[in-house]
Amino acid sequence: MTLKLYYAPGACSFVPHAMLEQAGATFEPVAVKLHKGEHKSPEYLALNPRGQVPVLSDGGEVVTQIVAIIAYIDAKFPESAFIPKAPLARARFVETLAWMNNTVHPTFTHFFMPNKFSDDEAAQAAMKRFAAGQYRALMAELQGLLAKARAAGQDWLGGVHCGPLDAYALTLLRWGSIAGIDPEGFPELWAHVQRTAQVPAVARAIERERLQLNLYKPA
């Protein structure tokens, strides 16, 4: 099998995972257990020296970074039309993807892995608290983007069908529930995520990763 996706359950690698399922691709899913440090093993670092998921390997060529992997899967499975072709719609898609990947995602990393940003425990605790607040505001912004898409007649964040932006939104709201944010506090976004989870290809990726969508525990 030429295509291999290295993923960690519940991680950002869910986005290319759902895309490959949606494309009907034949691929080998390879689970990487982050909690066991498998991403820091010599074998994995030989594949991706940054020690992160996702990694997509195609016949020995390795692609890292979600944005690049999404572009690659889109180009490889053009019939799935993951990324709109019309100039403005395409720019809007990339605009939202870039924001998810360079703003929302790293904000969660500051909550989830504050040790990446400081070796001072008090600073880490402060960072976690601050990042959770920032993340809540970003969820509100994401819900606003969804409302804007709907007002423009789109059922899905990237256009007429469920795609990578919807899978990323699902991942980000699920992460929010880990950060103490009740997804039900964002009813339109939560409904959208639940609807995304019911798309058969997305449901297959959820099942393989054994994901629970809402991990919120009231204090």
Q: How far is the CB of 110 from ligand GSH (least distance, A)?
A: 11
Q: How far is the CB of 219 from ligand GSH (least distance, A)?
A: 25
12 contributes a contact to ligand GSH by CB under 6 A: yes
- Residue 108's CB is within 10 A of a number of other CB atoms, namely 21
Q: How far is the CB of 163 from ligand GSH (least distance, A)?
A: 17
- Residue 88's CB is within 10 A of a number of other CB atoms, namely 8
What type of residue sits at position 144?
A: G
56: three-class secondary structure by DSSP? strand
Nearer to ligand GSH, 5 or 11 (CB): 11
Nearer to ligand GSH, 172 or 201 (CB): 172
What is the 3-class SS of 144-197, one letter each residue? HHHHHHHHCCCCECCECCCCHHHHHHHHHHHHHHHCCCCHHHCHHHHHHHHHHH
Size of the site for ligand GSH (CB under 6 A): 11
Q: How far is the CB of 58 from ligand GSH (least distance, A)?
A: 16
157 contributes a contact to ligand GSH by CB under 6 A: no
In terms of DSSP H, where are the helices of the chain? 14-23, 42-47, 66-76, 87-99, 105-112, 121-151, 164-178, 187-198, 200-209
Q: How far is the CB of 151 from ligand GSH (least distance, A)?
A: 29
> Is the peptide bond preceding residue 183 cis, with omega within 30 degrees of 0?
no
Footprint of ligand GSH on residues 15-54 (CB under 6 A)? 34, 39, 51-54
Q: Which residues of 21-30 are buried (b: 16+ CB within 10 A; e: fewer)?
A: bbbebebebe
Nearer to ligand GSH, 29 or 51 (CB): 51
11 contributes a contact to ligand GSH by CB under 6 A: yes
Whose tokens are 């709907």? That residue is: 150
Nearer to ligand GSH, 101 or 134 (CB): 101
Which residue is nearest to ligand GSH, using beta carbons?
52
Q: How far is the CB of 101 from ligand GSH (least distance, A)?
A: 5
In this structure, the chain runs to a length of: 219
The answer to whether the Cα torsion of 155, 156, 162, 166 is positive or negative is negative
Footprint of ligand GSH on residues 86-145 (CB under 6 A)? 101
Nearer to ligand GSH, 65 or 134 (CB): 65
Can you give the binding site for ligand GSH, defined by CB under 6 A?
Answer: 11-12, 34, 39, 51-54, 65-66, 101
